[in-house]
Amino acid sequence: MLNDPRFTAEVELTIPFHDVDMMGVVWHGNYFRYFEIAREALLNQFNYGYRQMKASGYLWPVVDTRVKYRHPLTFEQRIRVRARINEFENRLRINYDIFDAESGQRATSGYTIQVAVDDASGEMCFVSPDILFERMGVTP
């Protein structure tokens, strides 16, 4: 089921000058911004972006993340960032790959894990709320 193309989104970006260090290489913390752009595109496919999450009564903080830097990204490089839902029943794990747009070479991979938190009580949910399943069009 998770191989369904509905659970994947891809965005293309060009590395701006303000994202690189004096060597012209992307500063390591900016990779999370690229992940975020792709994650937002993915969640918006389900009409469950951050505004909709908040309106549904749940916050979804990132509680864990990992990045594997394979090849450096550089100023003005065109990249494709792919986000794919890997888990959703108890937490939302999204895997990411960053590719050079010209060669298709994978430069970076990683993931983020988010958990649902009830906005009213501040309590963490140990099972993803029904609204996520509804928006994704799946049954729990």
CATH 3.20.20.80 assigned to domain 6-136? The reply is: no
| Summary mean pLDDT of the chain | 96
pLDDT value at position 1?
A: 57
Q: Are 31 and 110 in contact (CB under 8 A)?
A: yes
Number of C-beta neighbours around residue 20 at 10 A: 19
pLDDT value at position 107?
A: 98
Hey, is 101 helix, strand or coil?
coil
Q: Which residue type occupies 85? A: I
Considering the entire predicted model, what is its pTM? 0.94
Query: Where are the alpha helices (H) located in 1-65, listed in sequence order?
Result: 30-44, 50-55
Q: Are 15 and 79 in contact (CB under 8 A)?
A: yes
In the predicted model, residues of the chain with pLDDT beneath 50 are none
Domain boundaries, the chain: 6-136
